[in-house]
Amino acid sequence: MVSEKIWFIINVSLGLLTVLLALTLAGLQLPTLGQAQYYFDKEEPLCGVDWKGEITPMQDLDRCCLQAREQLECHRETDNDFDWLCQGGTGSAVVKYRLNNKAYNYCGQQPYW
């Protein structure tokens, strides 16, 4: 037989699920983890284009996201102000896009990412 404690836990869980579903049906959109992480990150979004070791800041974040998405891979790499490196190949003659966490999270929210 199932104890009263387990029934209580099941009922509370179902109650919370009912509230979340009712809020969703009412049109309330709950933030995803990516949106919350982007909101609480207080640093400025930073994107740089790395060409042969020279990093040039890119002011247009949307364009930076689009260009970084066109690369073959993005991986975490801590290099001074940047946390992510997106590149289409290896070697020094390859354009690389460097992003900090705020810019990378912003790019992740874009529909083309």
pLDDT in tens, 29-76: 766 666 677 677 788 999 999 998 899 999 999 999 999 999 999 999
How would residue 14 be classed by pLDDT, with cut points 50, 70 and 90?
very high
For residue 2, pLDDT beyond 80: yes
Residue 73's DSSP bridge partners are 87
97 close to 87: Cβ distance less than 8 angstroms: yes
Q: Name residues whose C-beta falls within 8 Å of residue 46's C-beta, 6 or more positions apart in sequence.
A: 57, 81, 82, 99, 100, 102, 103
Going across the sheet that includes 96-99, the strands are 54-57, 47-51, 96-99, 82-87, 73-79
Rounded CA-CA distance 12/68 in Å is 45
